[in-house]
């Protein structure tokens, strides 16, 4: 089923088949991860820097995670890609095998004068994915769909570790957080057809069932952070 939902051949028959399977799947299990309000981080970077900052996170299929952060005020860009493995294997077909070390990730460039790194993580844990699902998100399974944070420096690592410990101690989630913190890794942008996928394909079955609810949850839980017009990768090309 997953290969059908995420196939990009453009076949009408394939899309219809994917829709029927997605409906059946939705009837047996909720496909969109449950959103929840989580407390802000007690430890955070100082807000107010002038230079853009980068955060890299992974939380299942990058279409939805990218789509969420494209709608967040203070985000300058959100790019889908791969992190955790080697440059040579940073390709969709190879990563989909689940043995490259890569996770489908999103590189978020943000204005620290408008949003802090800790608040980026708060949105990540609240509406972008479920951090208690090990090596899966919704209908997708495999290490390439793991929950992970890729700190860009020691301060980000400190904030991320403290936040996960804080949420764990507060028992915000019903199950333990399995998000990994993976330092000293490199991000590689995904193929062009993956960029802005949610915005360009709002009726695609996978997007309808798994990702559009995340945008609505962002708007509902973080109304002050929500921006109606997404910042697009394609707009810069």
- Catalytic positions, written as ranges: 61
- Annotate 91-156 with three-state secondary structure: CHHHHCCCCCCCEEEEEEEECCCCCCHHHHHHHHHHHHCCCCCCCEECCEECHHHCEEEECCCHHH
What CA–CA distance (Å, rounded) separates 140 from 211?
Answer: 13
Number of neighbouring beta carbons within 10 Å of residue 182:
19
């Amino acid at each position: 089923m997953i290969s059908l939902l995420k196939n990009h051949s453009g076949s009408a028959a394939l899309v219809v088949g994917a829709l029927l399977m997605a409906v059946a799947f939705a009837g047996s299990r909720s496909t969109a991860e449950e959103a929840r309000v989580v407390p802000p981080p007690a430890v955070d970077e100082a807000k107010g820097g002038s230079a853009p900052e980068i955060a890299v996170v992974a939380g299942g299929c990058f279409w939805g995670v990218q789509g969420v952060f494209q709608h967040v005020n203070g985000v300058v860009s959100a790019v889908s890609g791969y992190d955790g493995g080697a440059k040579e294997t940073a390709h969709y077909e190879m990563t989909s095998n689940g043995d490259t070390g890569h996770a489908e990730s999103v590189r978020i460039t943000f204005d620290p004068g408008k949003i802090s790194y800790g608040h980026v993580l708060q949105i990540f844990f609240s509406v972008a994915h479920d951090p208690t699902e090990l090596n899966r998100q919704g209908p997708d399974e495999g290490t390439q769909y793991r929950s992970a944070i890729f700190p860009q420096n020691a301060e980000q690592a400190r904030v991320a570790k403290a936040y996960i410990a804080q949420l764990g101690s507060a028992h915000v989630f019903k199950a333990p957080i399995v998000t990994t913190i993976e330092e000293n890794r490199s991000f590689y942008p995904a193929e062009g057809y993956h960029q802005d996928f949610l915005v360009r394909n709002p009726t695609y079955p996978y997007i309808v069932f798994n990702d559009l609810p995340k945008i609505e949850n962002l708007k509902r839980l973080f109304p002050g952070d929500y921006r109606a017009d997404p910042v697009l990768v394609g707009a810069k090309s």
